[in-house]
Structure formats: C-alpha cells, structure tokens
Amino acid sequence: MRALRKPFGPLAPEVAVLTAVAFSVALGFGIVAPAIPLFAKDFGVTNFAAGAVISVFALVRFACAPMAGRFVNRFGERLVLAIGIVIVGVSSLLAGLSGSYAQLIVLRGIGGLGSAMFTVSSFALLLRVVTPDQRGRAAGTYQTGFLLGAIAGPAFGGPLTAWSLRAPFFVYAITLLVAGGLATVFLARTSLYEHEVVAGTADQAPTTLATAARSSAYRAAVANNFAVGWAIFGVRSSLIPLFVVEGLRLGSSWTGAGLVLSAAVQGLVLIPAGRMVDTRGRRSFLRAGAALSLGAGVTMAVAGGAPLFLAGMALYGTGSALLGVSSAAVVGDVIGGRGGTPVAAFQMASDAGAFLGPLVAGELADVASFEVAFLATAAVSALAFVTTLVMPETQHSQPTP
C-alpha cells in the first residue's frame, strides 16, 4: 500500500490529468464562444434567436446534470467523463458543419448534455482520487485549469472568428477529442480502489442526495455555489460591461481591465486558498468567501468611479477563489469522496445562479438602477453567508451513514 499523501505532499497524478482536461475544455469553449452568435446570425435569424444558441447549451446542461449524477453512480466516473467529452467534441464538429439554424441549435443542445456529463464526472473523480486532507488543494488546482483556459480561449477565439466563423468549432472539437483521448488512456490505468484505501474511503458506498441534503454543511456549500453562479458567472459577466459604460460613464476598456483584474486575483488566490482550507479547515474560509462576495456587491453598488469599481472586482475574484475551494472540499467531506448525485446537485446550483442572476439583475437595472441590481446580488451572497453560520466544520468528519 502506498504511503498516505499529506496536504503539502504531491497530489495524485490524476489531478494533473483532470486539470489539463479542464484547461482544454475551457480553452475550447473560450475559442468558440465569440463565434456562436455571429455564426447563428449568418442564418438570417434575430438577435434573440442568436442568443438562444448560447442559452440552450446552459439549459440542457442544467437539466441533464441529475441524469449525469446517476450515470456516475451506475457506470463510474471515467466512462461518463469519456462519453461526455466525446459528445461535446463531436457535436461541436458537426455544429461547425451546420447548414441551418435548426441544426446548429440542436447540436449545441446535445453539447450541453455532454458538458453536464463531463463536469459532474470529472469533479466526482477529482474528489475520489485525493485524500480528505488534500481536497482543498486539489479543487484549487483543478479550478485554476478552468480559469487559465477561460482566459486564454478568447485571445485565440477572436482572431480565429475573424478568419472563419466555422473554424472555432473545429478547433474546439480537436482540442476536446485529443485531450479526452489522452485522459481516457491515462485514467484507464488508474486503480481507484488503491486511492480509496489510501484515503480511507474504500468501504464507503456512494452517498445519496437525500443523505447529503441532511447535512447543514452540504446545504451551505450548495447555497454558496448558487451565489457564486449568480454573482461571478452571471452578473459579473453580463452586467459589468453595461455598468462600466452606462453607469460609470467609463470607456469599454475598463470592462476588460476589471475582468482581467478579477481573474488574476482569483488565479493568485486559488492555490494558497486550497492549502489553507486543507490545513485550517473549511468553515472559516467558506464564511470569508461569502463575506467578501457580499462586500463586493455592496462596493459595486456604491462605486462612482474606477477605483471602487476595481476594488469590487478584486473582491469578487478573492471571494470566488475562497468559495470555490472551500465549498468543493465541504462536498467531498460530506459524501466521503463518493456520490454522483450530490455532486450533480452542487454543480446545478451554480448553473441555476448563472442563469437567474443576469435575468434578475438585468431587469432590476432596467426598472430601477445598477445600484439596486448589485444590492440584490449582495443580498444573495448575504443569504448564502447566513448558511455558513450554522454549519459544522467538516474536515476530518465522517460522512453520515
């Protein structure tokens, strides 16, 4: 039996593989994202219909997450991950060959199914191959892969879209299929049982969603992941560009500066945050992340110029990093490293927030003001923060039988 891996010792090599796959997925999505609405408009549809091509991916991904969780429990993480990547890759390739708007939107919907399978299975596998005292650092490493891919993708996607509206779909498919193939070959040799023996979870059956939901810590992790989706993946991406130009009366270049600052701070904090979560516990950092996200929303609401705007974006980046690693570690603790359906519900919470946040905040900005929209976002973070006040510390705890 291999020696127990310590928090500051090397992570399982599977973490590096999953991180590389996460980078490839995010890189490819960033490459294809600028081309999607423009390609749809090429079929002579309205702006609403072009936007629907983006929305259908997220909607199907959300709707299929529970099914992906059940697949993980029944067939295992590796098979579901491989099939999910193949579905996203092939559907992207065929989307680039679309001859009509109907074909494009159907294929993007199919891609959402594959994305749900990949996201749930890869995160479930990540929690399964590390020891309890490495869950925070593993989550930080994995999320850094996503973040770097998301930053790099648009840099390639913009010029590629200018050259051809179909080319980004093909490049996305190639990056996915190559990364997925390599990952499948490597992960096929992984002895999950050996990892579970090291982690002390070899006799742990997959945790059901009903069992996980009885834990106040799990509910706090889900609530905060919903708030992250609302504020970080939703409002930050959708409302900030409008707020900068229409609310602050600044040039659009400030939008890029704010988003880059937020992403840079998040990237710098993720790995150290993961280490601290593993050595000092989950609860305090989950609370700190929720408090910082709350502070970010309030800061944006009172911002009247560039300094407070940039401060708010930095707070969003820090809060997102702390919440990302601490909530993931909490979920891993509660399910004992195994449980497809609780992982799926956790992921769905972020998707739901990312879907509802832009709609609610956008409507509030239209009928009231940007200040009200950001205060509403802060209120969501405040409610998530409250859930952390009644949760126990989960590090070194045993999952509920």
Measured CA to CA in angstroms, residue 108 lies from 52, 271, 346 at distances of 10, 33, 23
More confident position, 324 or 238 = 324
What does the alpha-carbon distance between residue 222 and residue 219 come to, in Å, rounded to a whole number?
Answer: 5
Model confidence at 332: pLDDT above 80: yes
35 has pLDDT over 90: no
Measure the CA dihedral 310/311/316/318, to 10°.
120
Q: Which of 347, 366, 337, 329 is nearest to 139 (CA)?
A: 329
Residues 320/289, Cβ–Cβ less than 8 Å: yes
Please list, in sequence order, all residues whose beta carbon lies within 8 angstroms of the beta carbon of residue 392, skipping any fewer than 6 positions away.
216, 217, 283
Numbered ranges of CATH 1.20.1250.20 in the chain: 13-199, 209-388
Smallest CA-to-CA distance from 271 within 337, 221, 321, 331 is with 321
Mean pLDDT score of the chain: 83
Using DSSP, state whether 218 is helix, strand or coil.
helix
- At residue 8, the pLDDT reads 53
Distance of alpha carbon 198 from alpha carbon 185, whole angstroms: 23
Least confident of 28-42, 52-66, 310-324: 28-42
Q: What pTM does this model have?
A: 0.82
Give the DSSP letter string of 37-69.
Answer: HHHHHTTT--HHHHHHHHHHHHHHHHHHHHHHH
- Which residues does 247 contact at the CB level (< 8 Å), separation at least 6? 370
Evaluate whether 127 touches 199 at the Cβ level (below 8 Å).
no
Looking at the domain that runs over 13-199, which CATH code has it been given?
Answer: 1.20.1250.20
Predicted local confidence at residue 157, as pLDDT: 72
pLDDT digits (tens, 9 = 90+) for 102-131: 999 899 899 989 989 988 888 888 888 888
Q: Which of 325, 223, 339 is nearest to 271 (CA)?
A: 325
Q: What is the DSSP string of 285-315?
A: HHHHHHHHHHHHHHHHHH--SHHHHHHHHHH
Is it the case that residue 75 has pLDDT exceeding 50? yes
**Percent of the chain surpassing pLDDT 70:** 89
Q: Which one of 81-95, 137-151, 177-191, 204-218 scores highest in mean pLDDT?
A: 81-95
pLDDT above 80 (res 97):
yes
What pLDDT shows up at residue 5? 42
Q: To the nearest 5 percent, what fractions of the chain are helix, strand and coil?
A: 80, 0, 20
Task: Residue 43: count other Cβ atoms within 10 Å of its Cβ.
Answer: 17
**Sign of torsion, CA 46 50 51 53?**
positive
Cα–Cα distance, 82 to 80 (Å, whole number): 6
User: Running DSSP on this structure, what letter comes out for residue 99?
Assistant: S
Q: How far apart are the first and last CA of the chain?
A: 26
Burial of 105 (0-12, 13-18, 19+ CB in 10 A): buried
Cα–Cα nearest to 346, from 212, 236, 232: 212
Contact 183, 20 (CB under 8 A): yes
- How many C-beta atoms surround the C-beta of residue 261 within 10 A? 18
Q: Which conformational region is residue 44 in: left (phi greater than 0), alpha (psi within -120 to 50 degrees), or beta?
A: left
- Tell me the C-alpha distance between 67 and 358, whole Å: 26
Tokens of 266: 């998040």
CA distance to 35, 40, 72, 144, per residue, from 54 (Å): 11, 10, 26, 24
Structure letter (DSSP) for residue 9: S
Q: Which residue has the higher pLDDT, 342 or 206?
A: 342
| CATH 3.40.630.40 fits domain 209-388 | no
3-class secondary structure, 207: coil
What Å distances lie between residue 101 and 28, 168, 186, 192, 353, CA to CA? Answer: 21, 17, 38, 43, 28
